[in-house]
Structure 1
Amino acid sequence: MADSHDYKFVGWMGLDKNAAQGNMIWQEFEPKAWEETDVDIKITHSGICGSDLHVLRSGWGPTPYPVCVGHEIIGRAVRVGNKAEGGIEIGDRVGVGAQGDSCLGRTQGHCDECASGNEHFCAKHVGTYGSFHLNGDKSHGGHALYNRSPSHFVFKIPDSISSASAAPMLCAGITTYSPLKHFGCGPGKRIGIIGLGGLGHFGVLWARALGAESVVAISRKESKKVDALKMGADSYIATDDHPNWDTESAGSFDLLLSTISSSNMPIAGYFALLKRDGTLAQVGNPDDGVFSVPAPGLIIGRKRLAGSMIGAPGEIREMLQLAADKHVKPWVIERPMENANQAIVDMEKGSARYRYVLVNKNHL
């Protein structure tokens, strides 16, 4: 390695599109060159996200293989630069989410997005994996033994949140928390969460924690109804099993959060569920990035289609505090890090209920 430390960066590397079929290879990789603003993390937990699958198969564009995916990272700080932010000290339990860097005004003197606390919308946004840092080095994620990240995007984890629970909060959690908070989820609001997977189940948990008047889970089949109610949903709509779901519940919701990554979702029906001036916020991103929007669905009732992606560092800290205060606990299944390939395959099958987290047992 180019810098001095007594540990190696070793992880599950995707070498080509076949990696998404459970063919990642365990091998050493080169992290970004050390900077005094960085933190090295000895990884204990790494959540598996749908983004891992998209990137492993080059679903969102060509992936710069080889790549180590995983952007729901929890571990202990083992090296902290002398210019690191956030008061992080060696031994602290910390986490890293889906963003690994932004310009922070370094490349152009000023950045409106970074200056306003919207770093995730920075034009120089760097993903935690499959991207390139401002120094040109490739970013690698957390299905590994160690991770190196700029301290601005490293977060202390509240003591009351377990590492297995905290890991998926750093992508799935913030991806749903941010739009719910931004678009007004809270007392007096009727909220619908579309899709009850890793993202959607967080949507139900956050909507309840934010004090929504009513939370309704919306999924294709009746089979997840019991789970949804246990998570805190007040009721459940199964769009495949109830032919008149859109007319029976028309005009019922102030805000719908869609976590579906499909080009074929029944979006006209979703618009029908909204009240006048209601909002459909989309966070799911299909591989082709395209779905059709019927103009009447927007025009009639002055409804809005909005989008959202992950969240800024300030929002992540706010979310973690809410989780600690409200005892939010996602539904997580822990899997050994050495079984990452099988976990990836099971994730693709939709077997997770509702989030897999890889665990380095020798780092606990």
Structure 2
Amino acid sequence: MGDRVGVGGQAGSCLQSDCEHCAARDENHCPKALATYGSIYPDGSKTYGGFARYNRTPGHFVFKIPDAIPSAAAAPMLCAGITVFSPLKYEGCAGKRVGIIGLGGLGHFGVLFARALGAEQVVVISHTSSKAADAAAMGADAFIATSESPDWAVKNQKSLDLIVSTVSTPDMPLAQYLLLLKVRGTYIQVGAPEEALTGFNMFSIIAKNLKIGGSIIGNTEEIKEMLQIAADAKVKPWVQERPLKEANQALLDMEDGKARYRYVMVNEEYTGQ
């Protein structure tokens, strides 16, 4: 009672001891997992997300926010933040050369957390160089603009140990991204294209012993660890606060790519809480 808390992208799972995922604290992979947005609880009631005035969520999926993290910064960490923190932590990005594909809401968290977790080098890969200055201000060491250098993949081949891709376009140049990886490098996809990806040569994986994987949000222990690391390392996401009455326009602006780099809706009725 009285704590400042947050809820991420997951609002429930079975939490049964005979569930291999919940027993291993990988609740995000439970077959009965409930999303925070529009899922149905066992009693028939609905989960409500960030546009609601009130929220009811089982305590297992509610997290105390460290005092050092402002509410507007904590809110997007609990979904976008953990989406990239989880694979960066799991793949052991500390001391590695890390590539982040896309500098949007997810990608900017990728840069911030790769730096906080001790990556040796952080490289942003984007279509144009329009966000290069922002990437540098976030802590990125280098920037690759793929549309501005026809041989970008060849120039930077075998330069990265780990790539986390946050983009959701189905026509991404996956074969060229894989060229950037060193031998035994890892490519993790967190952006979710709705259509099938274009093909790539399987030999590009075999020849360098590459690993391709995916990741979705994170489990409860990872979220707690992320919040503590964010507090200790003073991770400051780039957010723009907007009143809840502007929610519809904020969605349109986000679709137009205007967010820099996450919109946080503030309920005017509860300002300051």
In the other structure, the counterpart of 2:125 is 218
Distance (whole Å) between structure 1 residues aligned to residue 198 and residue 32 of structure 2: 29
Distance (whole Å) between structure 1 residues aligned to residue 42 and residue 22 of structure 2: 15
Q: What does the per-residue CA deviation read over 1:272-309, in whole Å, with 9 as the maximum and x for residues that have no partner?
A: 00001100000000133x21342122122011110000
In the other structure, the counterpart of 1:104 is 15
Q: What does the per-residue CA deviation read over 1:181-211, in whole Å, with 9 as the maximum and x for residues that have no partner?
A: 0011002x10000000000000000010011
Unaligned runs of 5+ in 1: 1-88
- The answer to whether structure 1 residue 121 and structure 2 residue 29 are counterparts is yes
The 1:214–1:97 alpha-carbon spacing in structure 2 relative to 1, beyond 3 Å, is same
In the other structure, the counterpart of 2:193 is 286
In the other structure, the counterpart of 2:237 is 330
- The answer to whether structure 1 residue 149 and structure 2 residue 57 are counterparts is yes
Q: Secondary structure at the match of 1:263?
A: coil
Q: Secondary structure at the match of 2:150?
A: coil
Q: For residue 339 of structure 1, report the CA deviation from its aligned partner.
A: 0.6
Q: What does the per-residue CA deviation read over 1:69-118, in whole Å, with 9 as the maximum and x for residues that have no partner?
A: xxxxxxxxxxxxxxxxxxxx2x210000000100001xxx5111001110
Q: Secondary structure at the match of 1:193?
A: strand
Q: For residue 164 of structure 1, report the CA deviation from its aligned partner.
A: 0.6
Count of residues paired in the alignment: 270
Structure whose alpha-carbon radius of gyration is higher: 1
In the other structure, the counterpart of 2:209 is 302
Kept in 2, the 8 Å contact 1:219–1:237? The answer is: yes
Distance (whole Å) between structure 2 residues aligned to residue 334 and residue 140 of structure 1: 20
Distance (whole Å) between structure 2 residues aligned to residue 264 and residue 136 of structure 1: 40
Kept in 2, the 8 Å contact 1:332–1:356? The answer is: yes
In the other structure, the counterpart of 1:34 is none
Q: Secondary structure at the match of 2:78?
A: helix
Distance (whole Å) between structure 2 residues aligned to residue 177 and residue 218 of structure 1: 18
Distance (whole Å) between structure 2 residues aligned to residue 137 and residue 124 of structure 1: 15
Distance (whole Å) between structure 1 residues aligned to residue 140 and residue 24 of structure 2: 34
In the other structure, the counterpart of 2:43 is 135
Q: For residue 231 of structure 1, report the CA deviation from its aligned partner.
A: 0.3
In the other structure, the counterpart of 1:57 is none
Q: For residue 137 of structure 1, report the CA deviation from its aligned partner.
A: 2.7
Name the structure with the higher helix share.
Answer: 2
Q: Secondary structure at the match of 2:55?
A: strand
Distance (whole Å) between structure 1 residues aligned to residue 167 and residue 218 of structure 2: 18
Distance (whole Å) between structure 2 residues aligned to residue 206 and residue 293 of structure 1: 30
Q: For residue 237 of structure 1, report the CA deviation from its aligned partner.
A: 0.3
Q: What is the RMSD computed on CA atoms of the aligned residues?
A: 1.0
Distance (whole Å) between structure 1 residues aligned to residue 42 and residue 223 of structure 2: 22
In the other structure, the counterpart of 2:3 is 92
Distance (whole Å) between structure 2 residues aligned to residue 183 and residue 292 of structure 1: 25
In the other structure, the counterpart of 1:182 is 90
In the other structure, the counterpart of 2:248 is 341
Q: Secondary structure at the match of 1:275?
A: strand
In the other structure, the counterpart of 1:312 is 219
1:196 to 84, 103, 116: 103
Distance (whole Å) between structure 2 residues aligned to residue 146 and residue 285 of structure 1: 29
Kept in 2, the 8 Å contact 1:280–1:305? The answer is: yes
Kept in 2, the 8 Å contact 1:103–1:134? The answer is: no
Kept in 2, the 8 Å contact 1:93–1:157? The answer is: yes
In the other structure, the counterpart of 2:180 is 273
Q: Secondary structure at the match of 2:68?
A: coil
TM-score (norm 1): 0.73
Letter paired with 2:252: V
Identity, % of aligned positions: 57
Q: Secondary structure at the match of 2:56?
A: strand
In the other structure, the counterpart of 1:232 is 139
Q: Secondary structure at the match of 2:237?
A: coil
Distance (whole Å) between structure 2 residues aligned to residue 162 and residue 296 of structure 1: 47
Unaligned runs of 5+ in 2: none
1:163 to 56, 68, 71: 71
